[in-house]
Amino acid sequence: MTTRARQTPLLLLAVLLCAMLGLAVSWPTMVLAEPLSGTIDQRSRQQVTAVFTEMRTALTTGNGAAALAQLSRASIARLEAVRNAAKLGSAAPLAGFSPSEKLGVLGLRRHFTPADLRRLKTPDLLNRAITARWVKPDMLRTAELGPVAVSGNHASAPVLVDGKPSLARAEFLRESGQWRLDLARTTASADTLLRVLIPLSGQSEESYLGHLLDHLRR
């Protein structure tokens, strides 16, 4: 796996991972959308791009609260569930979590003490992750969206880094008239892939995810 393939999805999942937990392997099929036509779709495209830009700025400047403001309500609830499981330690059951969420729980446990997890809120954890440079700043600064495809209340776009297509795709949801980044759909393809790779590795799920976390710090 190349460094770009490992690191690019982190800029999308920095919020989910906090300690760059999320997914180092998000390999959905890259399909560039056709140029949008129509005033409504064009306005949606501009709004989606603005959300991504706000997220990138928030992550670059270490503003965890501003980053969370770009997420859907379900995405924020997802982050809180990951944080709550992490602060409970090994006693917390993880059976109901997706592979990316389990990676998030394990990463938080690795990089923060139980006292930290009880004391710090999600924006604070994210701020610490950014300060510790768990996402490469140059990748954040050069990340941008490719052509945006809009379908009703959903939108999707490939992520470009240094102007080149990456292996990540950002997914968005329109809530109460506002576009927000949708973590569940953004990580769905990577979760599917992990469910295939983990059994093939011959390792336990926790061991495989632990090794994946090791790679993220290289």
pLDDT in tens, the chain (218 residues): 444 434 333 333 443 443 222 232 333 333 333 443 455 688 999 999 999 999 888 888 878 888 889 999 999 888 888 888 888 887 778 888 998 888 888 888 888 888 888 888 888 887 777 776 666 666 777 888 999 999 999 999 988 888 888 777 889 999 999 999 998 888 887 788 888 989 999 998 889 888 887 776 55
b/e map 152-177, b = 16+ CB within 10 Å: eeebbbbbbbeeeebbbbbbbbbeee
Residue 90, number of CB atoms within 10 A of its CB: 6
3-class secondary-structure state, position 3: helix
pTM given for the model: 0.76
Are 12 and 26 a contacting pair, CB within 8 Å?
yes
3-class secondary-structure state, position 170: strand
